[in-house]
Structure formats: structure tokens, C-alpha cells
Amino acid sequence: MIEAARVFSDILRPTYGPRGLDKMLYKTDGSRAITNDGARIVSELLVKHPAAKMMVSMGETQEEVSGDGVTGTLLVCGSLLEEASRLLSRGFHPLTIVQGYRNSLEISKRTIENRSRPVRSGDMERVAYTAMTGKSANPDHFAPLLVSSFEILRGADRDISTESFGMIKTGVGTQERSRLIMGFQLRKRVPSEGAPNNLENPNVLVIRGDIKIRKMTRTAEVRVSNSDELDSFIEAEKERKMKISDKITNTSANFVVCGGEIDRDILYELSRSGVLAIQGLDSSEIEQVALCTNSVVVDSIMDIHQTMIGTAGTVNWTRRPSSDQVEDIIEIDDCPSPGLVSFLIGGSSDASAEETIRSLHDAIRSMLVCEQDPRVVTGAGSIYARIANDIRNASLLEAGRERLAMEAYARALETIPFVLASNAGREGLDAVLELRTKSRDETTIDHGISVDGHISAMEGVLHPASSLISSLEAAVETTVAMMRIDQVVSARGD
């Protein structure tokens, strides 16, 4: 089990850090993906061994809790198991190793608490930059945009979550042409060429269902004996449609979106009244438009009230050539106090755009962790070296065998700076020994592994403190769970 888990973590070793390489995932359906994101690699690997499945579960948990740090968690867990394997071969009892690891985890938490500091001005951008470093997204371009997006959302006086950010692939240009809008972008066909365009400060109405006369639930047969009766039926239908269109226009809404279908006659009346109406939105698009425009989603047309109307800064649409896939682009922007902002991701390659979006999600999750617990620690292997030094000092006070387990834990943590230096092209052991010496200095200056693999003072590389704590907790608990397994036996599955 230890060997299987160690092999699994070794798969991710070359992907770690700013100089990490990519993995090509070849899928069973013939498609392929290129990524160095640990969470994606873990989620898509074909895993059968039970120990490796425990590693996968640990990675998924770390992704859910913190949104980043999956690769580091797996590397630490693999190193803890490797160190435990050496102790087991020397006759150590598994529970002795478990106790030493748990003691070390408590020291790790205290060190993180002591070495962390409150978030200061500019730190959020550094956290985002650190989370995206080594991934496909360009941190120099996207980190300032992420900071701006958080500032915009804080102005809306709402709770910020991952649902507050929209990610839209434009399919054109380069990554550097990606931009942030205070709203949302739709890809739907605008009903007619004469539809209103370039709306300024429009009132927005969001309807979940259809905008048309409801169909009868029962089948009925009506006999018409003369043309006057037929005309009266047609006239009654027109009046009902006019009531629906009047109900909408009386709300002063001049931009209407709905999840269902809009009757052609009603659509004509709305266009004639200067209302831009878009149909066929799915449920997520409905919620996102409502969120960015501060609208209340209307379930029934007859329930429309003035308080349900939202506002936007501008609404523009661009006609695209007709085809099976390409639709018109409707952009909602400059919304006052929006509950949602959107990143328009440039790039002609769909795969690269997907990786950019994944990198942005990692950065957003790291920033959200800082919003909930505004403490940061220095990265680049610095905090791991500090923890290892504190554990070695604490182990000197242990009289039992747990002391050797604590020393093994400290060596396992030094895997992080070792891998960072190795992936940068430097001898990892030399870097670890030099960093170990620097970490004995009790000053506030934190040293870590630079991009080129050398030891230098680190200021701009920051991680959320709570994310690091959850990472170490997950690695230790998974290791302990494996250490407590005495034997793997086949069990009935019925």
C-alpha cells in the first residue's frame, strides 16, 4: 500500500512549482488533455489500487476545502509514507509512528500560527499571483483583474463565493486579450435585425418560463359556425397577447430575458416598444443574469412587480454569421453593484482556455480562503523549512521512539523545497541543506526557493495560512489511516 501511494505521488512530482512540467492525459474515448493541475490529474486518472484511491479522496477533499494545494498535499503524504516505510523496516510499531506524526502535526499548526501574519494591502494580489504561478494563466495579467473583481463584489455588500464569478471563453485573440466585465455575456440568437441595441442604463426583467399564452391542459373541441365567431376567437387571442406585452412594458423594462420561448406576436410588440428580448436561456444563465443585474427571477408573467426589475449599465449585442453553433453575442456590462462579474477568456484553443479557467478558479478559491481567514504565510518552501526546524527542536525533548518519527516527519516536509529546487534545475539536496541553515535564524526574514532554484529572501510568495493547515491535516490523516491498516482482504460485494 505504501509503495502504491508513493508511486501515485511521484506522478505529480515533476508538475510542482513555477518550473513544473505538464502531463498529457490520454483518455479512453481518444481525446487528450495537457495540464499540470494536480486536482485535474487526480480526478481523471484511472485508479484501481485501494491505497491510491485514498490518495485521490484526499486530493479531492483538499480541492473542496481550499481549492488549491492538491499537488503539495499529495507530495507530503507520499513522503510521510516513504519515511514511515523506512521506520517499519527497522522494526518500529506502526502506532509509534502514528503518535510521532500526530505530535508533529500539532507543532506544525503552532508554527503556522506563529509565522502567519494578517493580510495587508497588496497581499491579495500576491496570493492570486502565487496560486497561478507555474500554470497556464499569465499571473501578471490576471492577478490585477482578480483583485479588481473582488473590490467590485465587495461594493455590492454580498457574500462572495465561487458563484460570484463567470468564466466565458471568447474563442478569439490571445490570453492577454482576456478582460473583466461587470456583468455577463450571453451567446444567443437575437430574434431580429431591428431589435434595439446599445441600451444605456436599461431596466432588466428576468423570466424563468415562456412569454406566451399558456396551452390548455385539457383537449377541447370548439365548433365555429360563421366567420364572425372565428374573428372573435382571433381577436380574443390578440387581446391576451397584448395584455402580456403591456404587462411587461408597463414595468419600464427595456431588456427582457427568459428561459423559455417568446411568442412571435408578443416579440413584435416588445420590439416596437423598444424592448430587447432574448429567449432560450438555460437555468444557470438565468441565475447569472439576475445576479449581475440585481433582478428577481419571475416565475409567472402575472406576478411581475416593479421591485423585481434590475438594472444594467450597458447592453450591446453583435450579430454573428448564422451557423449551427455560432450565436450572437449579448454583453451586459457596467452593472451597478453587481453580484456577479465575468472573465472573458481569450485564446483560439479550447484546451488552453479551459486550463486558464482552471487556474483562475484556483486563485479565486485561495483569495476566498483569505477572505474568511485573513492570515498568510510565506511560500516557496519557506514555511515547510520553518516547521521542520521547530519539529527537530521539539523532538530533542522526546525520550521515546516517537522522537525518530518526528524527525522523519521533518524530513518529509523538506520534500517541498527539494522538489521546487529540483524542478528548477538545481541539486535538491544542496538547496534543502542551505535552506535548513537559513531556517534556524529566528528573524522575521523568510528564505525560500526562488524561480531559478536558489535560496533567497521571499516576500511576494504568499499562501493562505488555513489552506496550509488543512493540507497538512489531510496528508497526516491519510498517512495515519494507511499505517493503521494491518492487512488488505477481499470482501463480498453483495
Over residues 335-368, the pLDDT tens digits come to 888 888 888 888 767 777 777 888 888 888 888 8
For residue 126, pLDDT beyond 80: yes
Residue 217's pLDDT is 56
Strand ordering across the sheet containing 329-333: 184-187, 329-333, 314-318, 199-200
Pairing of strands 375-378, 462-464: antiparallel
Over residues 361-371, the pLDDT tens digits come to 888 888 888 88
Cβ proximity of 409 and 80 under 8 Å: yes
Q: What is the pTM of this model?
A: 0.78
Residue 163's pLDDT is 83
Residue 24's pLDDT is 79
The average confidence (pLDDT) of the chain is 80
Average pLDDT over residues 194-213: 82
Reduce the secondary structure of 88-118 to three states and give it as a string.
HHCCCCHHHHHHHHHHHHHHHHHHHHHHCEE
Residue 264's pLDDT is 81
φ/ψ (deg, to 5) at 226: -150, 170
Lowest pLDDT segment from 46-50, 128-132, 285-289: 46-50
Average pLDDT over residues 243-248: 77
Over residues 43-94, the pLDDT tens digits come to 777 667 777 777 777 777 777 777 677 888 888 888 888 888 888 888 888 8
Cβ proximity of 50 and 481 under 8 Å: no
Residue 222's pLDDT is 66
* More reliable by pLDDT, 275 or 229: 275
Over residues 137-157, the pLDDT tens digits come to 788 888 888 888 888 888 777
Over residues 380-438, the pLDDT tens digits come to 888 888 888 888 888 888 778 888 888 889 888 888 888 888 888 888 888 888 888 87
Average pLDDT over residues 103-121: 88
Average pLDDT over residues 263-285: 82
Cβ proximity of 81 and 479 under 8 Å: yes
Q: Domains of the chain, with CATH numbers?
A: 2-119+376-483 (1.10.560.10), 128-182+338-373 (3.30.260.10), 188-216+223-334 (3.50.7.10)
Residue 232's pLDDT is 64
φ/ψ (deg, to 5) at 421: -70, -40
Q: How far apart are CA 65 and CA 58, in angstroms?
A: 11
Residue 457's pLDDT is 79
Average pLDDT over residues 92-113: 88
For residue 493, pLDDT beyond 70: no
